Structure formats: C-alpha cells, structure tokens
Copies of this chain bind each other. A is one copy, B any other.
Amino acid sequence: MASQQPLAVGLIGAGRMGSFHAETLAHRLPGVRLAAVADPAPGAVERLAAPLGCATAYTAIVDLLADPRIEAVVIATPARTHADLVEAAARAGKAVYCEKPMAVTLAEADRAVSAARDAGVALQVGFNRRYDPGFRAAHDKVVAGAVGTPQLLRSLTRDPKLADPAPIPPWTIFLETLVHDFDTLRYLNPGADPVEVFAMADALVRPDFKDRGLLDTAVVTIRFDNGALATAEANFQAVYGYDVRGEVFGSEGMLTLGDIRRTHLTSYGSGGITAECVGYDQDLFRDAYVAELADFTDRVRTGRAPAVTGEDARAALSIALAAIQSVTVGAPVRIDELKEH
C-alpha cells in the first residue's frame, strides 16, 4: 500500500461539512490526498484549499469534474444539489461519496443510482451514524440475534439550537434531519422494509415560521414488514445540546444507544449532580465522519463495493416522503402508494 499512489479526491462544497471533510482528506487518511476543492461561493475555496496544502481550487464545479487527475469526489453542497452532482460526477467517471440526503425526490434518487450503476463507479452516501462504534455494534448485535425479532424501535435527533430559520426550506426536518433516523431505523432492523408511515409535525420552536412551511418538531411512526413498529422524532432546538439516541426492542431484549455527555466528568455539589452535554462544536460524530471517509476511500482503492449505497439513500428518502405526505393529508401513508412529492 505504501508504494501505491495516494487516491486523489476532489471536494465539492466548502461549507461547514465540506471544511471538515477537507481536513480529513488532507491530513487524516493515509493513502488519500485532497487533490482539489470546488465551490462557486466567492473566496470559499481559497480559504479552504491552500492552508490544507491543496494546490487546486475551482470555482466551477464542472471544472473539478473535468479534471482527469481526480479519482473520487466528496459532495458536500446544499442538499437540493446533491442528486444532480452525483449524476454528473458518475458520468465523469468519478467514485462518489455524497452527503445525505442524496436526493429529495424519488426520480432524482433513481437517476443518481442509475448514473452510478451505468458508469460502474462506487456511490456511497453519508449516513455517518453507521460509522459510530455504538450504532455499529448495535447493528451487529441485532444481526447476531441479540434482541431476537425487533418489535419496537426508536431513533431521535435533536439539534442543539435553531440557527436563523429564514433560509431553511420547508420539509427540511424530514428530508435532511429525520432522514438520518429513517436510515438508522433500517440499519437497526436489518432486512426489513417500511410499509406504512404516519407523521405529526408542527412549528413549536418558531411558530412564526409555520406559515412559510417550516416545521421544527416531528414524530413519525413507521410499520415495517417484519411487524416492527418504529418511532422517529426530531426537534430543531434542544437547549441542552446535541441529542441523538436510538433503541431497539425485540423478543429477546433491548439495545439503547446515545451519549449526550461531553466527557466522563461528573460533578456533585450543593445543587446536586451535574454533567456537561455535547454540542455541535464538540461534535458527537467527529470520529464517525472520519471513519466513513476512511472506509469509502479504502473501498475505492481496493475495488470493494460501498457500504452505504444509493439504494439505502432511496429507501430512507421514501420514508421521508411518506412522512411529508402523511403530514399533508393527515393520514397514514403506505410506502407502496407513495405519491411523488
């Protein structure tokens, strides 16, 4: 491996997530180099590329895709652009890692998956919780039968605080936040397919944004074809920190997941017991973000199939779309009767 050339990876999107991935690609992955960065935002690539020792910076994404030295791309642009970029990158013959959600319509998702298949390139999607050691161990235990047949599942995401809601598109809570939970529920109920979805949602954090269609609180119930009933829950403003938890209950036991503590320090004082919570800035999934790129690039280099596929992205999307439809019509929605959103 040492004698091999490092894998040349191009990063598309120099925002918060992109910057983190850039640092990972530049410094943390042996056998990988950050070969180029592309972002149309003025100044973005300059700020990011040079300090990381990356000499090539594009303001036109198309130029990065046309760069023959680039073997793989990491897409970290706004969600609504993902599917088109996956398609374009696949056609350009690049292996593709795409941040979640890979697509926001089923048609888009199908095109992205087809493009990668037709081009014969790897396509991996950024469901990073699958790379967290706790979630991974839970999945493995479920596969090994530790809980028997899953009967009840739960996954929740509560973001530490709501940034300015103005630019947030409607349905974001389903398409960008809960899509993680929908994937987690599939990951923790392996082999089962969602059948029916019911969702309640509201604008409780910022009621003033409700008339713009921005919902910030949601509860989704999902029935799977193995009988399991699952709940996914999200909220955009947890004042205490970044709260991600999961639970699988089955005929032989239960697994619980989640760790909101910042460190292992506990304080005891006249006010009782206290401990600090983790927030975005001490990111709960920092190691998982690194691990997923390490796995993706390793699979590309060794020619193995990606671990989290475009089909996985499509399956999670279908639950999100069913939830949106359920909120719209006020009734449960069957996945097989899903009307395209």
Residues of chain A having any CB pair with chain B under 8 Å: 1-2, 26-30, 50-53, 132-135, 137-138, 141, 146-147, 149, 151-152, 158, 196, 198, 200-202, 204-205, 207, 217-219, 221, 223, 227-229, 231, 233, 235, 237-241, 243, 249, 251-277, 330-332
Contacts and interface: CB of A to CB of B under 8 A. Distances in A.
Most B Cβ at <10 Å: residue of A227, A254, A257, A270: A254
A235 B264 CA distance: 22
Given A200-B221, A253-B269, 7 more contacts: A132-B263, A137-B265, A146-B269, A240-B268, A254-B269, A255-B267, A273-B273
Nearest 8 Cβ contacts at the A-B interface: A259-B264, A253-B269, A134-B263, A240-B268, A254-B268, A134-B264, A273-B275, A134-B265
B274 A265 contact: no
B217 A240 contact: no
A274 B273 contact: yes
A103 to B, nearest CB: 27
Contact of A265 (B53, B243, B257, B330): B257
Most B Cβ at <10 Å: residue of A231, A239, A260, A330: A239
Contacts of A141: 265, 267
A334 B133 CA distance: 42
Contact of A273 (B2, B240, B252): B240
13 contacts: A134-B264, A141-B267, A146-B269, A152-B235, A198-B221, A204-B227, A218-B229, A237-B251, A240-B253, A243-B254, A243-B268, A253-B269, A272-B276
Contacts of A228: 204
A238 B252 CA distance: 8
Most B Cβ at <10 Å: residue of A202, A262, A263: A263
Contacts of A233: 152, 231
Contacts of A273: 240, 260-261, 273-277
Nearest to A274: B274
B256 A2 contact: no
Given A146-B269, A272-B240, A276-B272, A249 B137 contact: no
A174 to B, nearest CB: 14
B265 A252 contact: no
Nearest to A256: B266
A239 B204 CA distance: 37
A51 B257 contact: no
Contacts of A238: 249, 254, 268
B330 A270 contact: no
Nearest to A30: B27
Contacts of A330: 332
Contacts of A26: 30
